[in-house]
């Protein structure tokens, strides 16, 4: 069950001994071949007789048709998050993070709307882009407004690491799909409630996303750097001794990235284990990170609470004993979660506009929760 941190086509190199040992056709699967060209090359080169698609078909059910029709660039990519496997373990259904329709037989289909509406979407992150695509598929007229100069929202920090090309690929797919669907995108445009009302939309979807938490109650917190700045590369560590406060998936990926760059990294985590709270991480992904930590020498200071950020590092306390200790660091990264941005939804009440909040504006989550939030609203508009 290869994950996002592993290269695509990882099992292709193991085929030769199998082909030498058997006289029957050899099919290759389990290696995240979610690219039509890679699949065709594997067969044409004689590496294998056929390619087995699994997760790639959850992300893009029209994979085969799009390859055959020369539309391989339109394939929605599998991002290797293994949400499908995690959800299968938990619920018995392999739900795809980037395809909210997958295994959603109990939900409405994305059908042409009986009444075409003018839809305004505020926010160009995952939920906003997904909502725009679904609405356009249904025949609505869609305008998407993003206050920054680029689409993607938290896909940028999520895809900022060297090993997260799949996230960057997903964001490119979203941008191109918006264009293919005829969605009008307005960048560098932040709308307030008055401006939204002046547009006279039938529906306004608020997908304003979230921002990193930097608790002001912690002394010296401003001396630390937020996780988004670290993950996107906007901040470059000043030295080689980095402390990452927060051992969720975001903090662990930042720690792994810095460790891969040769830095000495310590994770400070309140819980007894890293990646033990919040949305679950599939064990293939989780185990890979822990193995990398072991090989890279990442220190896991679990069961400790951040008390202060100093000029020389951090002061932490043992959750059980209260004993304090200082951890030296040249740089301190704060990865203590996200908080929803301020929404204009309440200011639109009574305006006659149908208003829905989606994505992190409703509940802080991940790509899977963001796409599903958009789907559940837009499939019913």
* Separation CA 131–CA 205 (nearest Å): 8
Output the CA torsion 89→92→93→96 (10° steps): -10
Q: Which residues pair with 304 in a beta bridge?
A: 318
pLDDT reported for residue 177: 98
> Would you list the DSSP string of 262-291?
T-EEEEEESSSSTT-SSS---HHHHHHHHH
CA distances from 349 to 2, 121, 197 (A): 47, 16, 11
pLDDT reported for residue 337: 93
> Would you list the DSSP string of 65-125?
HHHHTT-GGGPPPP-S--HHHHHHHHHSS---SS-TTTT-TTSPP----SS--EEEEE--S
How many other β-carbons are positioned within 10 Å of the β-carbon of residue 202? 16
pLDDT reported for residue 184: 98
- Please check whether residue 122 is in contact with residue 106, taking contact to mean a CB–CB distance below 8 angstroms: no
Strands 304-310, 313-318: pairing kind: antiparallel
Q: Where are the beta strands (DSSP E) in the chain?
A: 27-28, 50-51, 118-122, 141-145, 184-186, 203-206, 210-212, 225-226, 241-245, 264-269, 299-302, 304-310, 313-318, 324-328, 331-334, 338-340, 354-357
* Separation CA 353–CA 198 (nearest Å): 11
pLDDT reported for residue 274: 96
Along the chain (381 residues), what's the average pLDDT of each consecutive run of 10 residues?
A: 90 89 91 85 91 92 93 94 89 90 78 94 98 97 98 96 96 98 98 97 97 96 96 92 97 97 97 90 93 97 98 97 97 96 93 96 92 94 92
* Separation CA 255–CA 250 (nearest Å): 9
* Separation CA 180–CA 126 (nearest Å): 17
pLDDT reported for residue 197: 97
- Please check whether residue 28 is in contact with residue 48, taking contact to mean a CB–CB distance below 8 angstroms: yes
pLDDT reported for residue 66: 94
Give the SS3 label for residue 377. helix
pLDDT reported for residue 36: 87
Q: What is the DSSP letter of 165?
A: H
* Separation CA 194–CA 196 (nearest Å): 5
């Amino acid at each position: 069950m290869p994950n996002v941190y592993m290269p695509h086509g990882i099992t292709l190199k193991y085929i030769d001994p199998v082909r030498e040992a058997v006289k029957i056709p050899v099919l290759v699967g389990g290696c995240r071949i979610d690219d039509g060209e890679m699949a065709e090359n594997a067969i044409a080169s004689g590496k294998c007789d056929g390619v087995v698609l699994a997760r790639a078909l959850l992300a893009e059910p029209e994979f085969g048709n799009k390859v055959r029709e020369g539309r391989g660039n339109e394939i929605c990519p599998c991002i290797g998050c293994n949400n499908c496997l995690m959800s299968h373990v938990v619920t018995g259904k392999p739900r795809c993070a980037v395809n909210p329709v997958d295994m959603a037989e109990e939900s409405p289909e994305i059908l042409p709307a009986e009444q075409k509406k003018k839809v305004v979407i505020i926010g160009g992150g995952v939920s906003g882009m997904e909502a725009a695509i679904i609405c356009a598929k249904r025949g609505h007229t869609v305008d998407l407004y993003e206050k920054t100069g680029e689409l993607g929202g938290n896909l940028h920090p999520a895809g900022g690491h060297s090993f997260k090309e799949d996230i960057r690929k997903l964001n490119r797919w979203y941008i191109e799909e918006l264009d293919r669907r005829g969605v009008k995108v307005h960048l560098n445009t932040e709308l307030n409630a008055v401006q939204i009302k002046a547009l006279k939309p039938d529906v306004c979807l608020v997908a304003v996303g979230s921002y990193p938490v930097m608790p002001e109650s912690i002394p010296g917190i401003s001396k630390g750097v937020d996780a988004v700045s670290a993950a996107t590369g906007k901040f470059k560590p000043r030295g080689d001794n980095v402390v990452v406060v927060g051992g969720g998936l975001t903090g662990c990926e930042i720690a792994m990235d810095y460790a891969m760059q040769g830095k000495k990294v310590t994770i400070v985590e309140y819980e007894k284990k890293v990646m033990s709270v919040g949305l679950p991480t599939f064990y293939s992904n989780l185990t890979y990170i822990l193995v990398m930590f072991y090989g890279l020498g990442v220190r896991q200071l679990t069961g400790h609470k951040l008390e202060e950020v100093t000029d020389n590092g951090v002061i932490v306390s043992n959750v059980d004993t209260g004993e304090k200790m200082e951890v030296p660091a040249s740089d301190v990264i704060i990865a203590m979660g996200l908080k929803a941005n301020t929404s204009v939804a309440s200011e639109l009440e009574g305006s006659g506009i149908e208003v829905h909040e989606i994505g992190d504006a409703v509940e802080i989550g991940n790509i899977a929760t963001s796409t599903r939030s958009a789907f559940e609203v837009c499939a019913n508009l």
